[in-house]
Structure 1
Amino acid sequence: MKKLLILAVSSSLLLASCVSKKEYANLEAQYKNTKDLLNTATVKLNSCLTDRAAAEARATSLQERLADMKQTNQDLIQSSKDLTMLTSKGATNLEKSLESLKEKDLKISRLQDALTKKDSVTLALVTSFKREVGINDPDIEINVEKSVVFISIADKLLFKSGSYNVTTRAREVLAKVAKVVNGKPDFECMVEGHTDNVPYNKGGVLEDNWDLSVKRSTSIIRVLQDLGVNPSQLIAAGRADYVPLVANDSPENRSKNRRTRIVVLPKIDQFYDMIEKEMKNLSEGN
């Protein structure tokens, strides 16, 4: 551009020496016009270059944004696939959990039914004992604890002091007990002997209160067996003086602790057989 300007000036000087003033003035005017056009073109060129650089920067930024959007779109697509998979698995797991809860509820319901049935039988048994044995006798106590029937009979009704021979009156009471037990062949009858804390010192084959409590239990069991009770239903047990009702601190309290307790309960193996049967029915979908 500078070379062109120098050439124009040289030409003007050369022509100035060769041309008239009028021609010189025309040439000078053309030079000025050309110079203005050149300046204008230069300004426009610089503006175009600036706009081009800005456009290229915008294009680069847009390309980067487009690449980010494409990556974000891919991530969203993958997340959607993962979410769909998780949702499907979650639905499956939820369905399995609900089925498991239904099965547990059914098991609990059937077990409750079984326990209710057992409680109903126990209640009927208590009613039978109270009717047959006679609850009005102060020396005989019948109650239920945790679905088990307990018949507690004072020793003064069963034995003489320090003896394990059953009295005549005791046979009358035990005959009523035997009648009810005989009507419940699916039940067991455990006879527990209890003493006070006075040491046994009468000699013979018995050494202490343990022996006395067990011997009294077996004596009652033999009477029940003589009255027709199935021996397989009978269990002998002795507790000596280790499970007192009250403190052994007076003759009256020691009398209360000397007792025989007859525990009537469903056969445990039959009860568990009933539970196993319910579990089997559940597993087979019945």
Structure 2
Amino acid sequence: MKRTLTVTVLAAAMLTSCVSKKKYVALEEDYNNTRSNLQQSQMEKEQLEERLGAIEERVSDYNARINSLRDENNQMLEMNDLTAMSRANKEKMRQTLTKVDPAKLQGAQSLEDSINVAVAYNLEQEISGGASEDIQISVDKTVVMIDVSDQLLFRSGSHRVSRDAYPLLEQIAEVAKSEPTMEIMVEGHTDDQTFVESSYIQDNWELSVRRATSIVRLLQDRFDVDPAKLIAAGRSSYDPVADNETAENRAKNRRTRIVIIPNLDEFLAMLDSEQ
């Protein structure tokens, strides 16, 4: 009886040892897999940070170029008055300004202000027909900024461009192709809402860059804009036009800004006799 009991105890001990070893091996394998995944994630993070740094450097260079061109435009406008413009363009500008909302003309105190108003009006007619609430156009020292709401361009959380936006992008492409030296920067902007953990988009940085890149690819591939003239940039939620406290304000912040530097003669010539 004692011998039987001893054999039973030894067998149980050996079985327990075997099970413990299996658990240990399984845990060690899980640990190695987790460590490998962590290293892979770290590498991907470093690659994304490197790409983001390159994009930010390019955007910085482009902004410096914009500022340089603005300074040159300022010098030109300070040194020359209305007589520096061709007679045809002077007349076109006068005709354009007669069609502009008087409220917008009240703040035009100089030739530069008048040119900005005329350029903005011509672009609104050319690009949006002056009717879309999803498109806002402003001009600062002949640098044109077109803000397009995501309601027109994208579905929520997506970077796939809606076909409803194709006519607008086609018009912008025609503007881009009208002047060989013109460059266009597409900036993606978001609100400050975070993504769920299971989303395929990591964060608003990634979404804003993907959206800008999607538009740039369409301008290049579908509408034949020279890719050397295009820049894609993501600003995430860090350049808002309103606070993010309300749904209405968050909708304003979800936008794409298209920045173009026009040739003055080209834009003053956009208004035909029927407009």
For the pair shown, which has the larger CA radius of gyration, 1 or 2? 1
Q: Distance in 2 between matches of 1:109 and 1:162?
A: 44
Q: Distance in 2 between matches of 1:123 and 1:165?
A: 33
Deviation, 1:195, is: 0.1
Residues 2-41 of structure 1 show CA distances to partners (whole Å, capped at 9, x for unaligned) of xxxxxxxxxxxxxxxxxxxxxxxxxxxxxxxxxxxxxxxx
Q: Select the residue among 236, 241, 254 that pairs with 1:245.
A: 241
Structure with greater contact order relative to length (CA < 8 Å, sep ≥ 6): 2
Q: Select the residue among 187, 198, 211 that pairs with 2:182.
A: 187
Q: Secondary structure at the match of 2:158?
A: coil
Deviation, 1:194, is: 0.2
Q: Secondary structure at the match of 1:240?
A: coil
| Distance change >3 Å, CA 184–CA 258, structure 1 → 2 | same
Q: Secondary structure at the match of 1:180?
A: helix
Residues 29-67 of structure 1 show CA distances to partners (whole Å, capped at 9, x for unaligned) of xxxxxxxxxxxxxxxxxxxxxxxxxxxxxxxxxxxxxxx
Q: Select the residue among 128, 132, 151 that pairs with 2:146.
A: 151
Q: Select the residue among 112, 117, 121 that pairs with 2:79.
A: 112
Q: Distance in 2 between matches of 1:257 and 1:238?
A: 13
Deviation, 1:132, is: 1.7
Superposition misfits of 4+ residues, deviation over 4 angstroms: 108-111, 119-125, 202-205
Give RMSD over aligned pairs.
2.9
What is the correspondence of 1:220-259 to structure 2 with a 5 Å cutoff?
Answer: 220-225=215-220, 226-259=222-255
Q: Select the residue among 207, 212, 226 that pairs with 1:217.
A: 212
Q: Distance in 1 between matches of 2:165 and 2:77?
A: 42
| Distance change >3 Å, CA 158–CA 204, structure 1 → 2 | same
Give the equivalent residue in structure 2 for 1:262. Answer: 258
**Contact 1:158–1:169, Cα closer than 8 Å, also in 2:** yes
Deviation, 1:153, is: 0.2
Give the equivalent residue in structure 2 for 1:133. Answer: 127
Residues 226-260 of structure 1 show CA distances to partners (whole Å, capped at 9, x for unaligned) of 20111111111110000111110011110010000
**Contact 1:142–1:152, Cα closer than 8 Å, also in 2:** yes
Compare the two structures and name the one with the higher helix fraction: 1
Give ranges in structure 1 of 5+ residues lacking alignment: 1-107, 268-286
Q: TM-score with structure 2 length normalisation?
A: 0.52
Give the equivalent residue in structure 1 for 2:89. Answer: none
| Distance change >3 Å, CA 170–CA 203, structure 1 → 2 | farther
Q: Aligned residues: percent identity?
A: 43
Deviation, 1:172, is: 1.6
Deviation, 1:202, is: 6.3
Deviation, 1:171, is: 1.1
Give the equivalent residue in structure 2 for 1:207. Answer: 202
Give ranges in structure 2 of 5+ residues lacking alignment: 1-74, 86-111, 264-275
Q: How many residues align?
A: 160
